[in-house]
Amino acid sequence: MLEKAMNISVCRITIAAMDLLAEVLAVGGVRGTAGARIEASGPWGILWHGISRAAFYAITCGTAWLELAGHPPRQLMPGDVVLLPNGPEHTLRSAPDVAIIPNLCTAAEKARDCGGVLRLGSGEVETHVLGTSYDYDPAVSTQVLATLPELVHIRANRGRDGLDDTVRLLSRELASPQIATDFVLNRLVDILLVQLLRAWRTEKPAETRGTWLGILGDPLIGVALAKIHEDPAKPWTTDLLAAELATSRSTLTRRFRETTGRTPGDYLTLWRMDLAAVRLRDTDDTVDTIARSVGYTSVYAFSRAFRRARDQAPGQYRTSTRKSLRPAAPVA
C-alpha cells in the first residue's frame, strides 16, 4: 500500500511539473517559427549574426559543424538538435577549417525570416538542416528560455523519448513538401522545443541547476509552484503553503531560496504580475477585474505592486505594449 501511495505521489508530481512547464511557456509568449531550410553540398560555411530570438537547428541529413565563441567546434550528426537560447553569433560549416561563404548575409537573413530554402555549395545535396527560431516576451519575469545555458545540444538515437521521431517527421516533410508544409513545420517546431527540454532535463540534470527547469528537480518546490500556479488569486502566505505541503515554514523557505533564488512570496508576486501583464496587453478586461484575478482586492495595492514590477502603472503598460505590437503604417 505504501509503495502504491508513493508511486501515485510521484505520478502527480510529474504531471504537475509537465503542466507547469506548458503554462510558463504559454505565459512567456514562447512561439516557434520554421526558419531557413539549409540544403548544402561540398565545402560550405555560413555566419549567422546575433539575433534577438532563440535559434534552433535540427540536422535531418548529413553533418555540420557548429562554432560558437567560448566553445570548441562541435560536430552535429543526423538527428541531433541544438538550441541557442539567446541567439548569439555563430557559424555552421561542413568542416571546422572551411571558409565562410562571402556576401550571403542578406539571402541568409531572408531565408531565416521567411522560412525559405538556403542553398549552399554546388552539386548533389548532402546535408539538410532545419533552422527555426523561438520568440518570447522579454517583459515576462518567469521565463524558461532566458535561464538556459548558452548552448543546449541533444544527440540523436536516445530511444527514450519522441524527439527522434519528430526529427524524422521533419525530415520527411522537408524531403517531400506538400500542401500546408509550412503549417506542419511550425507545429512540429513547437513540439520539438518541449521534447528537447524534456530530454535535456532527463539526460543532463546537473546542467539544469540555476535554470527554471532546475526548479522542478526538487519535488517539494515543484508541487509548491504547481499550487501557486493552480490558484494564483488565493491569499497565499508562506505558512499556508507550507501547511498545504505538510512541511515546515523554514524548510519551505530554505529550499525555495536554494532552487529559485527567491522567497515563496517574491515568486508569487512575480507570477501574478506576469499574468496581469499578459491580460493587460491581450484583453480589454478592466484593471479592477485583472487585479482581482491575481489576488488583489484593492486596485491601489495592485497598481503599486505592478508599478514596482514593470516601472509603469497598469494603464500605461497597456497603452505602451499595444503600441509596440501595432503594425507600422504602410509607406505612401
Q: What is d(CA 59, CA 248) in angstroms, rounded to the nearest whole number? A: 48
Residues 6+ apart with CB under 8 A from 313: 303, 306, 307
φ, ψ for residue 9, nearest 5 deg: -65, -45
Architecture of the structural domain at 30-208:
Sandwich (2.60)
Q: Write down the pLDDT at residue 6.
A: 31
Q: Write down the pLDDT at residue 142.
A: 85
Q: What angle (nearest 5°) sits at the alpha carbon of residue 194, between those of residues 193 and 200?
A: 90
Class of CATH domain 218-325: mainly alpha
pTM of the model: 0.81
pLDDT at 214 over 80: yes
Predicted confidence (pLDDT) per residue in 132-171, tens digit: 889 888 778 888 888 899 999 998 875 556 888 888 888 7
Task: Give the strand pairing for 64-68 and 90-93.
Answer: antiparallel
Domain residue spans of the chain: 30-208, 218-325
Which three cell numbers mark 305? 505592486
Q: Write down the pLDDT at residue 122.
A: 80
* Positions of E strands within 41-187: 45-48, 54-61, 64-68, 74-76, 81-84, 90-93, 117-120, 127-135, 152-154
